[in-house]
Structure 1
Amino acid sequence: MMDQLYRWTLMEAGENGQRNFGMPMTVVPVYEDDKLWGYTLSIFKEGVKQTDLGVMFDKEIITKHEYVGRGEDGFPVMEGRADDVKGKNFEIWKMDSEPVSEDLRSTIRAYCTGLVAALNRYYAFGSVFVDDAQ
């Protein structure tokens, strides 16, 4: 998922940020244990960096079980081998505490709306690059 979101952001924001979202942007990948963990999106206005957005998984750990079984009371219980998986939540956050202008707010909102649409395409069709307009 993160690989597709990163590539989508490179095309939509990194190459066409001004046209698509209102301000030019750069995208820098973030790796954790040699895996693409997310990316940092920098937003510029007239050549001056306005802010950075962090788009990545968190550091929390969740336990994943091999399968779900049925308990004696009929309710589901987790069974099988248990593995710990790092990255419980997908997060988007502004990485500084500088005030946000109305132009920047509009750009961040437009990017986040596009990102949510890409996530919805990923979960609905298996790819962020599917054209779901038909």
Structure 2
Amino acid sequence: MDQLYRWSMMEGGESGQRNFGLPMKVDPVYYEERLWGFNVAIFSEGVKLTDLGVMFDKTAITKHEWVGRGEDGFPVMEGKSDEVKGKNFEIWKMDSEPVTEDLRSCIRAYCTALVAALNRYYAFGSVFVDDAQ
């Protein structure tokens, strides 16, 4: 989440107008003293048009130390189990204000770039990797 937040600060917060068509402001969201996500405010002519929430949900999932093989040959979760909060990563529009075409194209461009950054993180270990080469 830290890398996505820093990426969003650089690409949206500092260069939102140039990269996505409208200026943006990115603010962190903390949950239980951990960076849980961030809010992206999108502006036009100094007026806030909408907020996007980019963060984990509050759903918990059980994580086990390893996967073993049961007597029937199928996988069985084994070892210590821990509860991990934040099962799903979510991006959503946080208000019910109407969406203009300019705002729609800005949201689409931002979300497309954010998902590409997330894919770079899982493929290369960093959202800042230039995968064009």
Please indicate, yes or no, whether the TM-score normalized by the shorter chain is above 0.5.
yes
User: What's the counterpart of residue 94 of structure 1?
Assistant: 93
CA distance in 2, matches of 1:48, 1:64: 44
Shift of 1:105: 0.3
3-state SS, counterpart of residue 133 of structure 1: coil
2-structure distance, mates of 1:56, 1:119: 12
Take 2:94 and 2:115, find their aligned partners in 1: how far apart are those partners? 19
- In structure 2, the residue matched to 1:70 is 69
Write the letter of the residue equivalent to 1:100. V
Question: Which secondary structure does the structure 2 equivalent of 1:91 belong to?
Answer: strand
Counterpart secondary structure, 1:97? coil
TM-score (norm 2): 0.99
Q: How does 1:28-39 map to 2 (within 5 A)?
A: 28-39=27-38
TM-score by length of 1: 0.99
Equivalent residue for 1:3? 2
Return 5+ residue gaps in structure 2 as ranges: none
Shift of 1:50: 0.3
The alignment-based identity, stated in percent, is 80
Moved over 3 A (4+): none
Shift of 1:86: 0.4
Aligned pairs, number: 133
Flag structure 1 segments of 5+ consecutive residues without an equivalent.
none
